[in-house]
Amino acid sequence: MKKFYLSIALLISGLFSFSQEYDPMVDTLINKIELDSLVNFVRILSGEDSVVVNGTKVLIENRIYDSNDLAADYIKQTLEEYNLATYDQVYDTDGRNVYAIQEGIEYPDQYYMICAHYDAVTAYCADDNASGTAGVLEAARIFSNYNFQYSIIYALWDEEEIGLIGSGYYAQQAAGNGDNILSVINMDMIAWDSDDDYLCELHAQDYANSLELANYMLSMNNVYELGLAPVIQYPGTGASDHAQFWYNGYSAVLLIEGYWSGDFNPYYHTVKDRISIFNLPYFNKMAKLAIGSLASLSVPDVTISVDEFFATTKDLQMFNYPNPFNNKTTISYYLHEDTHVTLTVMNSLGQKVAVLEDSYQREGIHEISFKRNDLPSGIYFIVANTLSGSTTSKMIIEL
């Protein structure tokens, strides 16, 4: 985080309403976020643990802008391991952005971005900003297994600490090329909470629909019960990489700990900024807010098979046919082992409208006939819970 001081800020909390509907598929993706995975990324990036990069076991001793190629190599290698199209963007002698693109299947030329800066001012710098970098890598780890309607950019910026240089170069190039970046979520310092109040800040200004994006993320916290206490800072700080997207006409929001709210990391920009000072439950929730918002915006695709997308529990696979339907559909599911099954239907508001099954069942194929009765047309979700997890399938009732 590059620290600037602004003369005045208007603190807004809950003054706007940017509502959205609950989506079990987004909830499923949020629940795939693993704190152990986030911690592992931070420990490697902050030099606590060694890692094999390009075939050699190494320790990332620092990420200072003029000597952080090892960190960039690790980031690039990690993104490539997720089978993402990964790019080095070298823009000067010391400047090197690393980013990956996951192409959307419906709108490949429209992008949502999640980003963070990976450079630092000294050794460790776990909160600033191995924490945000870990959030981006965790999003890539999870989302690379699925399809989304919109394209996703996972971006890690260099030289934030000396003037937002890496993000500035990318944003200027993107604007010049006419890239259709719909929204940018920037994570910078997301792991310090000294008083367990779970307060976090969403910084927005009057560029594109940045304020609406902040309110969208505020709503995400409420709809998915993430347990944070977000406040919107408007007009927000320009002291991190999101600002470069503002200045180039894009919608962007900064997600950060209590930067203007009296609980900013006192070990910022020192060698005492290590993972041992993290509030780990808070870190996990912050990652869920950013990654969950990205999932909701990018729209998980539901046209592929259930086995490809929805099978989040290893002992059950499920689909319904016909889909969409007018009067009646058949829900078919296969159990790989004997288990207890609960099968419910939920509407797009997350309200339970029917319980179809709640019993112990044998391994094999099972089918249930479902009639719409008086249900209105719209999108519904079949949610199956077993002893090992849950599976969700989208069901559409036509007029």
pLDDT above 70: residue 313: no
| CATH, domain 306-397, list 1.10.3720.10, 2.60.40.2550, 3.40.50.720, 3.20.20.140 | 2.60.40.2550
Tell me what the mean pLDDT of segment 299-323 comes to: 62
Tell me what the mean pLDDT of segment 155-173 comes to: 98
Structural domain boundaries in the chain: 11-298, 306-397
pLDDT above 60: residue 323: yes
pLDDT at residue 125, rounded to an integer = 98
Name the pLDDT band for 85 (thresholds 50, 70, 90): very high
Name the pLDDT band for 321 (thresholds 50, 70, 90): confident
pLDDT above 90: residue 357: yes
pLDDT in tens, 269-302: 999 999 999 999 999 999 999 999 999 999 987 5
Comparison of pLDDT for 337 and 234, the residue scoring more: 234
Comparison of pLDDT for 210 and 323, the residue scoring more: 210
pLDDT in tens, 123-157: 999 999 999 999 999 999 999 999 999 999 999 99
Comparison of pLDDT for 62 and 389, the residue scoring more: 62
pLDDT at residue 335, rounded to an integer = 85
pLDDT above 80: residue 171: yes
Comparison of pLDDT for 359 and 304, the residue scoring more: 359
Q: Round to whole Å and give the CA distance between 181 and 245.
A: 9
Question: Lowest-pLDDT range, 119-133, 206-220, 346-360?
Answer: 346-360
Can you read off the two tokens belonging to residue 296? 């909701």
Tell me what the mean pLDDT of segment 226-248 comes to: 98
* pLDDT over 90, % of the chain: 73
Comparison of pLDDT for 116 and 396, the residue scoring more: 116
pLDDT in tens, 211-233: 999 999 999 999 999 999 999 99
pLDDT at residue 290, rounded to an integer = 99
Name the pLDDT band for 106 (thresholds 50, 70, 90): very high
pLDDT at residue 15, rounded to an integer = 31
Tell me what the mean pLDDT of segment 99-125 comes to: 98
For residue 332, count CB atoms less than 10 angstroms from its CB and return exposed for 0-12, middle for 13-18, buried for 19 or more: middle
- What's the pTM? 0.77
pLDDT above 90: residue 4: no
Tell me what the mean pLDDT of segment 351-361 comes to: 91
pLDDT at residue 336, rounded to an integer = 82
Tell me what the mean pLDDT of segment 72-96 comes to: 97
Per-residue CA distances from 393 to 58, 243, 377 (Å): 43, 39, 17
pLDDT in tens, 257-270: 999 999 999 999 99
CATH topology of domain 11-298: Aminopeptidase (3.40.630)
pLDDT at residue 20, rounded to an integer = 67
pLDDT above 80: residue 194: yes
pLDDT in tens, 38-62: 999 999 999 999 999 999 999 999 9
pLDDT at residue 246, rounded to an integer = 98
pLDDT in tens, 13-29: 333 334 567 888 898 89
Residue-averaged pLDDT of the chain? 90
pLDDT at residue 351, rounded to an integer = 83
pLDDT at residue 307, rounded to an integer = 39
